[in-house]
């Protein structure tokens, strides 16, 4: 196999992670030959598609499973999306980020007390965040606080922002990164190429370079970053990296209701099940609809609605006694066991709406099963990793780095929000490996200032998980 084309860096996968990295490498480094390869015809057709995720910029204020320390790190990377978008022409900005009310709702005495305590801890770090009593909630979200014009029966309190950028179309964001790269390719002396409809079939080390086999022939690169969701682990393991991991794909589905909410209403997370609490979101693409979910169902495929990826799932599951023990340990926790069972039933036609509506009633107390419909064709897959050494289910993103120029990103939630922060880490790794220069001043100007100045917040260190 001989490669006809040579690049400084090849990025595999054109979701929000891959396109954000292409944008940062093209915009802030002096690398001259960059390529992104994506198997579908357009960017963001898998988890970053607007139908397939909850469209939330997670900045840490309403995620009750985050400590303040974790929240501040997330805030920096979340702000990068807003800082990027507010500098675009208003028409482009408004396709990507959306203002609306946002809150985390406490229901009942215990949750209300937890919300009030959390507010005291978080209020200095989040000056826009307010404590919302039931009257304030009724102003922002009448269907949450009132039933037929009277107060709902349970005690409620929330923290949140009445009007802030918290909705995002990750697909539009990916398209924007891609369009900026097309412009840089046309106008500068850099080659910033994007090959859509091109599948990567193999990656091999070839001396100090990487040979990337694609459906359009082989390509050669000095560094490679794989941003292919669950398929990143498959590609890593084919090269002998990340053998300590197994992948557990957790599908998330949604239910639609006619416009029930004006913005985003999250609920308090169960510490045993972080990110599992149901939420309601004003959909930014489907007009007049509120989306509730996501559910969480383990599905044996790496890409939702793509049966060809069932085989890929079994390759990365690599079932052994450690994986079995991890799953068994999860099933031993009653909260998790019940949650898994409930979520299985949420997919059973006929039964699903009647069961799921009970969850939604925590947010909108007088909603009925007849008001909601299963959102057919919506939802994606979160590629959660199991660390077979520690028998632990990893909750966030995982990066596998070989230290010789190749990086693999696995990006479950909130991977959309972290796209620019994740790209910053990868840009640093690629630049260090290739001895490239990064224009950090331009980076700070464009991504760390604008809507929110986060120049003083330390970037999260790269958590090297060497293969």
Ligand X SMILES: Cc1cc2nc3c(=O)[nH]c(=O)nc-3n(C[C@H](O)[C@H](O)[C@H](O)COP(=O)(O)OP(=O)(O)OC[C@H]3O[C@@H](n4cnc5c(N)ncnc54)[C@H](O)[C@@H]3O)c2cc1C
Q: Considering the complex, state which of residue 157 and residue 276 has its C-beta at the smaller distance from ligand X.
A: 276
Min dist. Cβ of residue 380 to ligand X (A): 3
Candidates 28, 126, 170, 177: give the one binding ligand X (CB under 6 A): 170
Nearest-angstrom CA–CA distance, 79 and 193? 28
Candidates 10, 11, 13, 93: give the one binding ligand X (CB under 6 A): 13
Q: Considering the complex, state which of residue 134 and residue 170 has its C-beta at the smaller distance from ligand X.
A: 170
DSSP SS3 for 310? helix
Min dist. Cβ of residue 189 to ligand X (A): 27
Q: Considering the complex, state which of residue 189 and residue 376 has its C-beta at the smaller distance from ligand X.
A: 376
Min dist. Cβ of residue 432 to ligand X (A): 22
Q: Considering the complex, state which of residue 83 and residue 411 has its C-beta at the smaller distance from ligand X.
A: 411
The yes or no reply on residue 60 touching ligand X (CB under 6 A) is no
The yes or no reply on residue 79 touching ligand X (CB under 6 A) is no
Min dist. Cβ of residue 383 to ligand X (A): 8
The yes or no reply on residue 384 touching ligand X (CB under 6 A) is no
Q: Contacts with ligand X in 195-254 (CB under 6 A)?
A: 199-200, 227-229, 231, 252
Do residues 421 and 447 touch, judged by C-beta distance below 8 A?
Answer: no
Min dist. Cβ of residue 36 to ligand X (A): 9
Window of 41-49, 59-67, 115-123, 129-137 that interacts with ligand X by CB under 6 A = 41-49
Q: How many CA atoms lie within 13 A of 420 on its CB side?
A: 28
Min dist. Cβ of residue 390 to ligand X (A): 23
DSSP SS3 for 85? helix
- Is residue 280 within a helix (H) or strand (E), and if so which, with residue range? strand 279-282
Nearest-angstrom CA–CA distance, 313 and 302? 6
Tokens of 356: 């799921």
The yes or no reply on residue 92 touching ligand X (CB under 6 A) is no
Total residues at interface with ligand X (CB under 6 A): 42
Count the neighbouring beta carbons within 10 Å of the beta carbon of residue 53. Answer: 26
Min dist. Cβ of residue 117 to ligand X (A): 25
Nearest-angstrom CA–CA distance, 180 and 444? 18
Nearest-5° angle of CA 377, CA 379, CA 383? 135
Give the x/- contact pattern for ligand X in 323-362, rule: CB under 6 A. Answer: ----------------------------------------
Q: Which position has the token pair 């050494």?
A: 389
Q: How many CA atoms lie within 13 A of 119 on its CB side?
A: 21
Q: Contacts with ligand X in 103-142 (CB under 6 A)?
A: none
Q: Closest Cα partner for 410 from 266, 213, 242?
A: 242
Min dist. Cβ of residue 406 to ligand X (A): 15
Do residues 9 and 221 touch, judged by C-beta distance below 8 A?
Answer: yes
Nearest-angstrom CA–CA distance, 425 and 407? 10
414 upstream amide cis, omega within 30 of 0: yes
**Phi and psi at residue 54, to the nearest 5°:** -90, 0
Give the x/- contact pattern for ligand X in 283-302, rule: CB under 6 A. Answer: -----------x--------
Strands (E) across 368-420 are located at 373-374, 381-387, 392-393, 398-401, 406-410
The yes or no reply on residue 379 touching ligand X (CB under 6 A) is yes
Window of 9-17, 27-35, 181-189, 423-431 that interacts with ligand X by CB under 6 A = 9-17
Window of 89-97, 349-357, 409-417, 436-444 that interacts with ligand X by CB under 6 A = 409-417
Q: Considering the complex, state which of residue 31 and residue 250 has its C-beta at the smaller distance from ligand X.
A: 250
Residue 70, burial from CB neighbour count under 10 angstroms (0-12, 13-18, 19+)? middle
Binding site for ligand X (CB under 6 A): 12-18, 37-40, 44-48, 52-56, 58, 170, 199-200, 227-229, 231, 252, 294, 379-382, 411-417
């Amino acid at each position: 196999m001989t490669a006809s084309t040579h690049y400084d860096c090849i990025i595999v996968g054109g979701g929000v992670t891959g396109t954000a990295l292409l944008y940062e490498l093209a915009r802030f480094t002096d690398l001259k030959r960059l390529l992104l390869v994506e198997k579908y015809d357009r960017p963001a057709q898998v988890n970053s598609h607007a139908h397939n995720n909850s469209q939330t910029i997670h900045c840490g204020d309403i995620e009750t499973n985050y400590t303040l320390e974790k929240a501040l790190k997330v805030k920096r990377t979340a702000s990068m999306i807003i800082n990027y978008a507010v500098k675009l022409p208003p028409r482009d900005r408004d396709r990507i980020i959306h203002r609306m009310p946002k809150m985390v709702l406490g229901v009942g005495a215990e949750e209300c007390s937890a919300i009030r305590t959390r507010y005291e801890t978080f209020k200095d770090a989040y000056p826009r965040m307010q404590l919302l009593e039931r009257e304030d909630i009724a102003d922002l979200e009448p269907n949450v606080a009132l039933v037929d014009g009277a107060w709902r029966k349970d005690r409620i309190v929330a923290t949140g922002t009445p009007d802030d950028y918290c909705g995002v179309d990750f697909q539009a964001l990916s398209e924007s990164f891609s369009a900026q790269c097309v412009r840089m390719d046309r106008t500068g002396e850099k080659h910033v190429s994007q090959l859509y409809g091109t599948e990567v079939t193999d990656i091999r080390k070839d001396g100090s370079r990487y040979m990337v086999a694609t459906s359009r022939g082989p390509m050669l690169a000095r560094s490679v970053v794989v941003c292919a969701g669950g398929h990143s682990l498959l590609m890593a393991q084919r090269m002998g990296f990340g053998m300590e991991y197994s992948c557990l794909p957790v599908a998330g589905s949604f239910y639609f209701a006619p416009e029930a909410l004006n913005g985003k209403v999250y609920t308090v997370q169960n510490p045993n099940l972080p990110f599992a609490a149901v939420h309601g979101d004003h959909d930014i693409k489907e007009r007049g609809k509120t989306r509730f979910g996501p559910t969480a169902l383990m599905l044996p495929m790496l890409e939702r609605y793509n049966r060809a990826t069932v085989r890929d799932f079994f390759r990365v599951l690599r079932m052994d006694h450690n994986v079995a023990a991890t799953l068994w340990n999860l099933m031993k926790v009653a909260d998790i066991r019940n949650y898994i069972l409930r979520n299985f039933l949420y997919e059973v036609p006929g039964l699903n709406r009647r069961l799921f509506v009970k969850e939604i009633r925590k947010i909108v107390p007088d909603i009925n099963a007849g008001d909601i419909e299963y959102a057919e064709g919506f939802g994606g897959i979160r590629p959660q990793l199991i660390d077979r050494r520690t028998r632990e289910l990893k909750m966030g993103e995982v990066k596998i780095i070989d230290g010789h120029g190749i990086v693999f990103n696995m990006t479950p939630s909130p991977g959309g929000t972290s796209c620019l922060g994740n790209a910053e880490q990868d840009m640093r790794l690629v630049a260090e490996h290739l001895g490239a220069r990064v224009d950090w001043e331009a980076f700070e100007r464009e991504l760390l200032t604008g809507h929110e100045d986060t120049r003083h917040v330390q970037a999260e260190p790269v958590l090297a998980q060497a293969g």
